């Protein structure tokens, strides 16, 4: 954080609201630019390879509802990745940023290695499968617990309002209910593990609304 923002005679809530609005505007602008670039590339491909490229895009199913699903899913995915990364970098603590990056990439490498070894040396082993399921569910539990702790901390420090916290909780409950209905109807086996993983991914959507104000406050008062 620049020295001016750190020492400006403004309360944390005003600084957080201003920066958060600017972040959302930047998010929308970048997302629109990315989709525009994809559309231009699609046009270039059509020029090079003919109108067959547009056959899938102009399909009635895609035009009727598929395009809306595509925009919604890509927007949610882009928000989840970008906002959570920003919440880490806006802490302004180099050791914290390095630790977060190291844990993510190191954990990914460790999980990939262990899971591949278990599947290679213990195929169709019930204990190996339980270990793999436990390894996959542990990060989900950490995400859920960490997000809950962030919201409680942000609410106690008055970084977010009670209405904002309740809205996030309501969104999560509605989302999890939809996930449970979808998973139990389409995946009769191992449905609890799948529902748990999707619930953690849903949690990452609302996590930045608490972690970003905390990160900015931590950055400003270091």
Domain positions in the chain are 3-220
Measured CA to CA, the distance from residue 40 to residue 34 in angstroms comes to: 10
Q: Would the pLDDT of 68 be above 70?
A: yes
pTM of the model: 0.80
Q: Are the C-beta atoms of 213 and 158 separated by less than 8 Å?
A: no
Relative orientation angle of helices 191-206 and 126-156, to the nearest 10 degrees: 30
Coil vs helix vs strand at 162: helix
Q: Are the C-beta atoms of 55 and 62 separated by less than 8 Å?
A: no
User: Could you read off the pLDDT of 137-176 as tens digits, one per residue?
Assistant: 888 899 999 999 999 999 998 888 889 899 999 999 998 8
Higher pLDDT, 66 or 63: 66
pLDDT for the residue 10: 59
pLDDT for the residue 220: 76
Over residues 187-195, the mean pLDDT reads 66
> What contacts 24+ positions apart, CB below 8 Å, involve 157-161?
157/214, 157/217, 158/13, 159/12, 159/13, 159/16, 159/210, 159/213, 159/214, 159/217, 160/209, 160/210, 160/213
Q: Would the pLDDT of 6 be above 70?
A: no
Of the listed ranges 149-153, 167-171, 203-207, 214-218, the least confidently predicted one is: 214-218
Higher pLDDT, 17 or 138: 138
Over residues 194-217, the mean pLDDT reads 88
């Amino acid at each position: 954080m620049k020295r001016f923002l750190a020492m400006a005679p403004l309360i944390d809530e005003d600084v957080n609201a201003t920066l958060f609005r600017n972040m959302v505007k930047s998010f929308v602008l970048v997302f629109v630019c990315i989709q525009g670039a994809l559309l231009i590339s699609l046009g270039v491909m059509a020029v090079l390879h003919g109108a067959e490229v547009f056959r899938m895009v102009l399909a009635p199913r895609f035009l009727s509802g598929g395009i809306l699903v595509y925009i919604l899913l890509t927007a949610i995915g882009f928000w989840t990745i970008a906002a959570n990364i920003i919440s880490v970098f806006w802490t302004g603590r180099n050791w914290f940023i390095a630790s977060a990056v190291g844990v993510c990439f190191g954990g990914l490498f460790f999980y990939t290695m262990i899971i591949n070894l278990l599947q290679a040396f213990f195929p169709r082993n019930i204990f190996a499968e339980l270990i793999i399921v436990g390894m996959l569910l542990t990060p989900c539990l950490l995400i859920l617990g960490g997000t809950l702790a962030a919201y409680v901390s942000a609410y106690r420090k008055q970084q977010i309002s009670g209405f904002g916290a309740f809205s996030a909780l309501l969104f999560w409950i509605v989302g999890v209910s939809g996930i449970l209905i979808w998973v139990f109807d389409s995946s009769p086996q191992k449905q609890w593990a799948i529902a748990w993983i999707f619930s953690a991914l849903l949690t990452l959507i609302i996590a930045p609304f608490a972690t970003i104000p905390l990160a900015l406050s931590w950055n400003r008062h270091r």
